[in-house]
Amino acid sequence: MRHIAPGFVPVFSKAIKEYAASIGKTNFFLVGENSTGVDADLVPHLTSDGLDSAFGYPAYRRETYALHGKAPTKALEDSFLKTAAALGATASRVLRFIDNHDVYRFLRMGEPEAQLKVALAYLLFSVGIPMTYYGTEQGFRQDTDRFDPEGPDHPADPRNREDQFAEGEFKSESSKGDKFDETNPMFQWLAKLAGVRKEYAALRRGEQHIRWSSESSSGVFAFSRVHDGREVLVVLNTSAEDQLEEMWVDSGLTPAGTRLVDALDSSYSLSAKPVDGGSKARVYVPAHGVRVMVRAK
């Protein structure tokens, strides 16, 4: 978007929408790419430009270290608050990602796949529109140990644009063979996350409230999504060690005594407990684990 004359964007958007409607596509989705690091730069795209969404580059730049366990989870909370302050209600229309065609693939060589599982859960369950990059569902990796932003001296492409088909000429160590594999554990994990997101409207449309973050290290990051009188508590562990944390929940929606069960693992459950007139949940999360605590049926 930043390479197009600003005055042309609304004209373009209007013409595309009108043409799409004329052939029966009345809900045609237009997303703009602006690789800015400034949240405010996205505001016109989401308000006056006639676009439905815009790539969330500012949040991506702020959050990738924490999602890799290289920064405290407080960075995720701070990033959320910056996005909310700059974009307000339009933050729910930002196209969020953990990797794409112009940045490094999320997984680096030698990193545990479990880190990607946590990042995908963060992507699908946080406020905004989640976008997954092809090959991520197959665990494709970037052959770099770099976390600083890519650039002319350290490009992400073309090594992040491998072929998925077996006979492709452009392959990497992680993309060898036929990678349209629906039995791949990462593919199945992503499908499971998508199923939970579909089942609970709060994970798609709910307001987001931060419940826990660590100021000094990797570890737990927790938030609630609230919609239509229901609260879903998402608890992520970005560290390689098990974690046990106690956090506030909404005492009106999740009062003390409420039984909560993990939508990803029904064998794990807990009861909210009374604390100082409010309600708290004490959640155990294994290393690089994810909990999605919902009211027991």
End-to-end CA gap in the chain: 46
**Closest residue by Cα to residue 93 from 9, 29, 158, 168:** 29
Summarised one tens digit per residue, pLDDT across range 183-202 is: 999 999 999 999 999 999 99
| Residue 28 pLDDT | 96
DSSP 54-96: EB-HHHHHHHHHHHTTSS-THHHHHHHHHHHHHHGGGGGG-EE
Could you tell me which of 273, 271, 265, 276 has the C-alpha nearest to residue 295? Answer: 271
Buried b (16+ CB within 10 A) or exposed e, 257-295: ebebbbbbeeebebebeeeeeebbbebebeebbbbbbbe
What pLDDT score was predicted for residue 6? Answer: 84
Distance CA 264, CA 190 (A): 12
Question: What pLDDT shows up at residue 261?
Answer: 98
What pLDDT score does 2 carry?
86
In tens, the pLDDT along 120-175 reads 999 999 999 999 999 999 999 999 989 999 989 999 999 999 999 998 899 999 99
Quick one: pLDDT at residue 22?
98
Q: Is it the case that residue 262 has pLDDT exceeding 90?
A: yes
Domain ranges of the chain: 8-199, 205-295
Average pLDDT, the chain: 97
Q: What is the CATH topology of the domain spanning 205-295?
A: Immunoglobulin-like (2.60.40)
Q: Which residues pair with 154 in a beta bridge?
A: 151
CA–CA dist 83, 85 (Å, integer): 6
CATH fold of the domain at 8-199: TIM Barrel (3.20.20)
Mean pLDDT, residues 200-222 taken together: 98
